[in-house]
Amino acid sequence: MVVSVAVPVPFLNLLTYRIPEGMNPPTRGARVLVPLGSRMVTGVVIDGPHADPLDDRGGDSAEAEREHDFKDLVRVLDDGPFLPQEVVDLALWVADYYGCGPGDAIDAAMPPRSWMEGDAARRLADGSAIKTRRRKPATSPDLEWPLADAAISRTLTVEQAATLAQLAGAASREVFHVALLHGVTGSGKTEIYLRLSAEVRARQRRVLMLVPEIGLTGAMVAQCRGAFGDRVAIQHSGLSDGARRDQWQRIREGSIDVVVGTRSAVFGPLPALGLVIVDEEHDGSYKQEETPRYHARDVAIVRARRAGALVVLGSATPSLESYHNARQGRYELMTISRRVLDRPLAAVRLVDMRDEYAERGPEISLSRALEQAIDERLAAQEQVLLLLNRRGFARAVFCRQCAGTLECPNCSVSLTVHQPRQAGEGAVTLEGARARCHYCNYSMRVPKACPLCAAPYLEHLGIGTERVEEEVRARFPLARIARLDRDVIRRRGALPRLLASFAAREIDVLVGTQMIAKGHDFPSVTLVGVVSADVGLGLPDFRAAERTFQLLTQVVGRAGRGDKSGEAIIQTLYPDHYSIVHACRQDYEAFFAAELRYRRAMRYPPIIAMVNAVVRGRTLSGTMDEACDVAEELRSHARDAFSVLGPAPAPFVKLRGEYRVQMFLKGTSRASMRDAVLTALDRRPELRRRVIVDVDPMQVL
């Protein structure tokens, strides 16, 4: 007898192993210890046991062939399935759809510390037992029910109530259904999620709630805890391995009713799934940008289809894909057009920075309108958010003599200037500032003279959050100012501390990147300033306008969520750009119509499906040659099923020392495009590991 096993080795197919005489056959989903080359690795049984194909031939020949054929399983590590069947199935779907190896996808579905390798595996192979910890039994669900009811007590608005009734109706049918909940910022979507979850839970079915980033949606977790107590589990990569694994175990045992997690939680081992909520479904962090390159929203929908569950995709700015699907009738569209308690959306003013520069010089970053508005809000003891979606002090170091910029030696990007010290640690100084690469982390001291021409005329180009923070400090010396971006939150605990401190109104002005735009509910924020709306607009990515619209609409949506109405001021050099115009009016429909026209004209998703293949290599010309070979083969197979664009150097032509050349496949059948790429690569095994195959790419830089 043999079994097929997935092992966590990139792009490797299923491997077949023989079950030796006397070993109990493992079940599907169980972990097994197997030899792989000279190593011993853990794998997961995907298929079998089957009859050994070699046994048919019988006699000596089978014995003789056996030697260089299937190796024996060394040990079975689990009595039953370690991964539930539906999770194994889901992982296999991911492997197939996204064109990675089954082991890559199974790996993504496994809790931490499930694979054993090296010494640990060897010890297991020698027969030492695996330790399984006994858990204390979970408290009875009945005991916690009053608890839940107590937390859910406020009166819903008319629109909330109608939406909830509709969703609850869908949930009660207990069949697969997808609803897109398009509710403006501050329309109270969380409240709907909680109540719907309670309904589903009352039907003895379980809830999976996906959020883009736990750190930024801690409030959601707290509310779930408030409503469902102990029977809520949190799953995200910020937890320690031990904690994550413990929670995973509790979910697996069925002692958890509601799982709140980031994208990998889509593989959570929940039995009897009844509801999947994907909050902020448009958010780019649902897409994993490494193998397996899955989109958790789309995987969630597949999972729900198999489980006969309801899916709720929630957003104030739905992705083009989801809204298009809703328009086409594939999803049910539900709209909440008003904020709770009839609070108005923030009034938005555009400031054309060309006028400001003309009158006050190119050095300023805050317009007079924005400065004055900040002044007023500070006087009224209200809070201010200032968005600039670029971290660091300056975007680049520029030489006025030779017009060169400081570039990363490993990447085709300019180095970003960072202050030597973080804010809050004393006076800001650029003495000893460093220029750093945001891709490979290379850094150098900012030189006094240009390394190319030796001229001492270096200047900073383009501003980042550090610079804005400094300017706001200088302009408003009495205000309490803080900054929130990836550099600040690198220190453990810094993010929750900062968010709590802002919520407690210990900070007046919070300067930050897109992090400050995500889902937060700070009722005392009455002013949102966008220092530059243009940061992402120039990127050569077909989603640039969509991202800009989403970011602006979301950040504007942070203003005026409490008793006092809010306003937003958006500074831009492109006041006529459609993404900025529609974001100002918070007019999703108009943006969608304009953007869909562009996608249709250019043949981009969601009008067609797309696969991006990125070839990486040591030299540009060699990589280009390889990519041309692949593209040529693809074209010869494509016929009319799809078209191949490129190859062309990727916008970031060099990253971390590797050159990148990409080609787009556009067509209607993902399967045929993906299979064509995989077939071409099958014939070039050496190239396989250097090619990124990205099905439904979220970014093409």
Residues that bind ligand ADP (CB under 6 A): 154-157, 160, 183, 185-191, 340-341, 521, 561
**Min separation Cβ 154 and ligand ADP, Å:** 5
Binding partner at 561 among Zn ion, ligand ADP, none, C-beta below 5 to 8 Å by kind: ligand ADP
Closer to ligand ADP by CB, 194 or 700: give it.
194
Binding partner at 185 among ligand ADP, Zn ion, none, C-beta below 5 to 8 Å by kind: ligand ADP
From the number of C-beta atoms within 10 Å of its C-beta (0-12, 13-18, 19+), residue 473 rates as middle
Binding partner at 440 among Zn ion, ligand ADP, none, C-beta below 5 to 8 Å by kind: Zn ion
**Min separation Cβ 442 and Zn ion, Å:** 5
Closer to ligand ADP by CB, 120 or 340: give it.
340
Is residue 652 within 8 Å of 540, Cβ to Cβ? no
H/E stretch holding 694: strand 691-695
Binding partner at 442 among ligand ADP, Zn ion, none, C-beta below 5 to 8 Å by kind: Zn ion
**Min separation Cβ 222 and ligand ADP, Å:** 11
**Min separation Cβ 386 and ligand ADP, Å:** 20
From the number of C-beta atoms within 10 Å of its C-beta (0-12, 13-18, 19+), residue 352 rates as middle
Rounded to whole angstroms, the Cα distance separating 145 from 201 reads 10
**Min separation Cβ 164 and ligand ADP, Å:** 10
Closest CA to 263 of 233, 243, 283, 239: 283
Closest CA to 170 of 325, 316, 304: 304
Binding partner at 160 among ligand ADP, Zn ion, none, C-beta below 5 to 8 Å by kind: ligand ADP
**Min separation Cβ 652 and Zn ion, Å:** 10
Rounded to whole angstroms, the Cα distance separating 406 from 675 reads 42
Secondary structure tally for the chain: helices H, strands E: 21, 28
Binding partner at 491 among Zn ion, ligand ADP, none, C-beta below 5 to 8 Å by kind: none
**Min separation Cβ 539 and ligand ADP, Å:** 27
Q: What does DSSP assign to residue 440? A: T
**Min separation Cβ 347 and ligand ADP, Å:** 18
Closer to Zn ion by CB, 74 or 415: give it.
415
3-state SS string for 477-493 = CCCCEEEECCCHHHCCC
Is residue 647 within 8 Å of 628, Cβ to Cβ? yes
Binding partner at 191 among Zn ion, ligand ADP, none, C-beta below 5 to 8 Å by kind: ligand ADP
Interstrand relation of 434-436 and 443-445 (parallel, antiparallel or unpaired): antiparallel
Rounded to whole angstroms, the Cα distance separating 515 from 213 reads 10
Binding partner at 408 among Zn ion, ligand ADP, none, C-beta below 5 to 8 Å by kind: Zn ion
Closer to Zn ion by CB, 440 or 573: give it.
440
**Min separation Cβ 405 and Zn ion, Å:** 14
Closer to ligand ADP by CB, 196 or 458: give it.
196
Closer to Zn ion by CB, 232 or 411: give it.
411
SS3 196: helix
Closer to ligand ADP by CB, 187 or 414: give it.
187
Amino acid in position 622: G
Is residue 336 within 8 Å of 588, Cβ to Cβ? no
Closer to ligand ADP by CB, 73 or 583: give it.
583
Q: DSSP string of 23-46?
A: PPPPPTT-EEEEEETTEEEEEEEE
Residues making contact with Zn ion (CB under 5 A): 408, 410-411, 437, 439-440, 442
**Min separation Cβ 186 and ligand ADP, Å:** 5
Is residue 688 within 8 Å of 11, Cβ to Cβ? yes
Rounded to whole angstroms, the Cα distance separating 359 from 581 reads 24
Closer to ligand ADP by CB, 51 or 222: give it.
222
Binding partner at 43 among ligand ADP, Zn ion, none, C-beta below 5 to 8 Å by kind: none
SS3 496: helix
Closer to ligand ADP by CB, 153 or 381: give it.
153
Closer to ligand ADP by CB, 446 or 551: give it.
551
Q: What are the CA-CA distances from residue 473 to residues 368, 508, 528, 570 (Å)?
A: 16, 11, 17, 20
**Min separation Cβ 520 and ligand ADP, Å:** 8
Is residue 462 within 8 Å of 393, Cβ to Cβ? no
Is residue 228 within 8 Å of 178, Cβ to Cβ? no
